[in-house]
Structure 1
């Protein structure tokens, strides 16, 4: 069962946080639709989840995002402000599949007091990847395949409709509209990344966040680190990738916005030592989106950016400013 398994707060710690912050958690609302505060206070762990909730809930939700731009969710530990945000929310959404691993050390039993949902809950398990080196767990980076992430829209729609049945028809309509936009983005990814020459279809990044991306759009994806950024890249792994870069004459490697660049720098230096010049093809968004208020600060913009940058750097054809002509130059 992938629905919330260990979310909550130690009551003593919670009381301490409230006294320091001088804020009081909202009282639990009934699900009858007759005693609901609008916009509904919602907490969401990462930007991709917050964006889902904003698109489905729109004016009926007020979403507080826990982890901001450039934050690595694998390593994030809940702060005092995070605790307050979660306790002030009436509904909590998180990604699931162990993405927010370290937050479970602080969060205990929140679901006993309020609804808490994993947006990946309804994804067909056949869609999920289970890498050999991830100890029997699924790869959590599902949003890298737009068609797979689209399945999460219904989880948000169902959760909001259950909590606020009065506006279920609105959430249904919003979800359908957003899924159409995601379908368009997925098609853009398929067509654009297909333009990369066959012998250049290797994507090397800081860590294994792009396996779904590679499967969906036909790329051989290689990460320096494992799926979780807690894992350290060994010298053997770096040497293996340097040999691959030289052998296949790969033109570019990519850094990630929420992961250190040191391992990618080591790859570039290693390839140059063997006489192969390589460059950084660009910075990709992996575990976090772009700055709030920007196009890249939305899920659509995040994936549009990644698709466009990868295609252009590896020899494919893509508009400089992306699918919607909105990418930051």
Structure 2
């Protein structure tokens, strides 16, 4: 009886070994961790309009995009609603700017990343190319979209994120990315060519808050904002007075309002200069932290940059 039990156990172990060997012969390395490609349209939720525009250009017909922040919305002050949380939960993948632009939503992205990819599109930008203004509490300036070359890195990050969740559509994502990057190369060249027409002494861009630092570095303009990097920071009477004094001393003729920032701050600067017998005009409205209405020139990233460039050149040239 004892011998029969031993023989039975030996046969059982041999059979089990053969089964495992057979499974191993057909298995691929890491196959157990392979993610299935999302079938059908990839549902994407984004924060800003600039990011939504990237996803639409890269994803094409394969994506359905829902942006949380529409035209004129300030992402620095934005607080997510229950409806926004629902959009984030329904998404297959989330793209946000990062670098503390959406400061009040940081915890939400951390929680969502446990369930699905939640990606900061600025991840691919080297730290050496990021601005670190002394008045921004040791953080990087998040307004990277104003340097078209840097924003091209964001396009590449979106491409790779979409490939991660829908690898079977990789070829389309890569083709769309190449086409869009070519358009951005042309946009960068356009900005440099147009802004170079402004005489050097007149290349001073004065706006409501310090959103155009990357723009100034990329296209050789001196940039001054009444408020700091974030509109969450407050400005005081002394800040207005300092800016007024600068405008008067340097004989600057135009300042600019922003579509996502109340214009009362810049209006105070204009009135302050007028009180000192220096006439300053509002050179126009620029898109800073948000794009324009859909269907308008400012309703796309390329259109908003061109609008800003043309408005600045017309006022300062």
Normalised TM-score (structure 2): 0.87
Give runs of aligned pairs for residues 70-89 of structure 1, distance below 5 A: 70-89=72-91
- Structure 2 residue 273 is matched with structure 1 residue 271: yes
CA shift digits 1:11-63 (9 cap, x unpaired): xxxxxxxxxxxxxxxxxxx9967552321110000001111111100100000
Secondary structure of 2:302's aligned partner: helix
Which 4+ residue blocks in structure 1 deviate beyond 4 angstroms? 30-35, 105-108
**Hey, what does 1:164 align to over in structure 2?**
166
The Cα of 1:293 is off from its aligned counterpart by 2.4
- Structure 2 residue 304 is matched with structure 1 residue 302: yes
Larger relative helix fraction: 2
**Hey, what does 1:194 align to over in structure 2?**
196
Unaligned runs of 5+ in 1: 1-29, 316-329
- Match among 224, 237, 240 for residue 239 of structure 2: 237
The Cα of 1:112 is off from its aligned counterpart by 0.9
Residue 199 of structure 1 contacts residue 248 of structure 1 at CA under 8 Å; is this kept in 2?
no
The Cα of 1:170 is off from its aligned counterpart by 1.1
Whole-angstrom CA distance in 1 between matches of 2:194 and 2:37: 48
- Match among 216, 219, 230 for residue 218 of structure 2: 216
Secondary structure of 1:254's aligned partner: strand
Secondary structure of 1:112's aligned partner: coil
- Structure 2 residue 119 is matched with structure 1 residue 117: yes
**Hey, what does 2:187 align to over in structure 1?**
185
Whole-angstrom CA distance in 2 between matches of 1:248 and 1:148: 31
**Hey, what does 1:54 align to over in structure 2?**
56
Residue 206 of structure 1 contacts residue 254 of structure 1 at CA under 8 Å; is this kept in 2?
yes
Residue 32 of structure 1 contacts residue 164 of structure 1 at CA under 8 Å; is this kept in 2?
no
Residue 96 of structure 1 contacts residue 140 of structure 1 at CA under 8 Å; is this kept in 2?
yes
The Cα of 1:277 is off from its aligned counterpart by 0.8
RMSD after superposition = 1.5
Whole-angstrom CA distance in 1 between matches of 2:268 and 2:309: 24
| Number of corresponding residues | 286
Question: Rg bigger for which structure?
Answer: 2
Unaligned runs of 5+ in 2: 1-31
Q: 1:228 to 1:48 in 2, by over 3 A?
A: same
